[in-house]
Amino acid sequence: MCGVLFTLSGTQLPAQSEQCLSASLRNARVDANPGLAQKAARLEQFTQHWIHDQKGKLQLRSPITLSGVVHVLWRTAAENISDAQIQSQIEVLNEDFRQRNADFSNTPAAFLGIAADVEIEFCLASVDPDGNSTNGITRTQTDIDNIRKTEDWYSTFWGGKDAWDVDRYINIWACDIGDDGTLGFAYIPETADPPESDGLVIGHQYFGKIGTAANTEFNNLGRTVTHEMGHYFNLEHLWGIDRGSCEEDDFVSDTPNQFEDSFACPTFPLFDDCTSERGGVQFMNFMDYSDDACLTMFTEGQKMRMLAALNWQAD
């Protein structure tokens, strides 16, 4: 039985073309609601203190299993993805977060010592918010084209689907993401505004490994959801909040400072204006933009940051 998630706690979306909109979305929300910046600052302070307090402690952890719901929003038949396609994505998440992905063996030796089993597992909810049995999937037909560019995806009234209790479930909306290069986005903790919009929004053709994802070049192995789930647990992109500066950082000590995002499948080692040692750019990290086939790992530092997010008690 898959239980429920313990607490982890309206403006137009950014119009720019971006593979992952999480950082842009966070910036837009904070600009519109300065109170979110204060919440995010408290979370960051807690995160740094929690990680510091864990140093030197012997941690014998059991894997944490978190419960999610996938809301399929479909306008065309192709967008109404199958249960099997959804299950293939859950399998990818569990492989990637538990370091059981077959392609982990492609991780360069320079980074093997810091690669992490995050010890988080995922399942589709077996009980809905009303206590009824469920397969953890909802299906909603909509007449809204490119629904991710609206505020409608999380509103049943406006043609989307209301979130299930965001303190108990990870909400994932699989829908029409448009054709501008965006693959998906997620809310970094404490930046969802309104709170019921919290979760992940993923293009159906980047969800899982079969069905509509099977014919998607370069992003056909489910790593878009792995990446966005990292954001959901408070991970930044490797190059920090804004690209193009060596002054930005992702707040993780074992990911080398990085100038900007990686694309395609770089050849190891890769160096840039910020990264000249320690193995170079960590382009195989799930929080970069390399092709799905080249992404293999999270780091121990990223793991600790994600576990801190799970221990955060929101106001």
Catalytic residue list = 228
Q: What contacts 122, CB < 8 A, 6 or more positions away?
A: 65, 66, 67, 68, 90, 93, 94, 97, 170, 229
- b/e string for 170-201 if b means 16 or more Cβ within 10 A? bbbbbbbbeeeebbbbbbbbbbbbeeebbbbb
- Cβ atoms of 177 and 170 within 8 Å: the answer is no
CA distances from 310 to 26, 119, 313 (A): 19, 12, 8
Residue 209 to residue 87: CA distance in whole angstroms:
9
Q: Take residue 161 and report the two structure tokens written for it.
A: 């689907």
Residue 262 to residue 31: CA distance in whole angstroms:
27
Residue 1 to residue 133: CA distance in whole angstroms:
10
Residue 259 to residue 246: CA distance in whole angstroms:
6
Residue 302 to residue 120: CA distance in whole angstroms:
12
Q: What is the dihedral of CA 53, 56, 60, 65, to 10 degrees?
A: 40
Q: Take residue 216 and report the two structure tokens written for it.
A: 């998607």
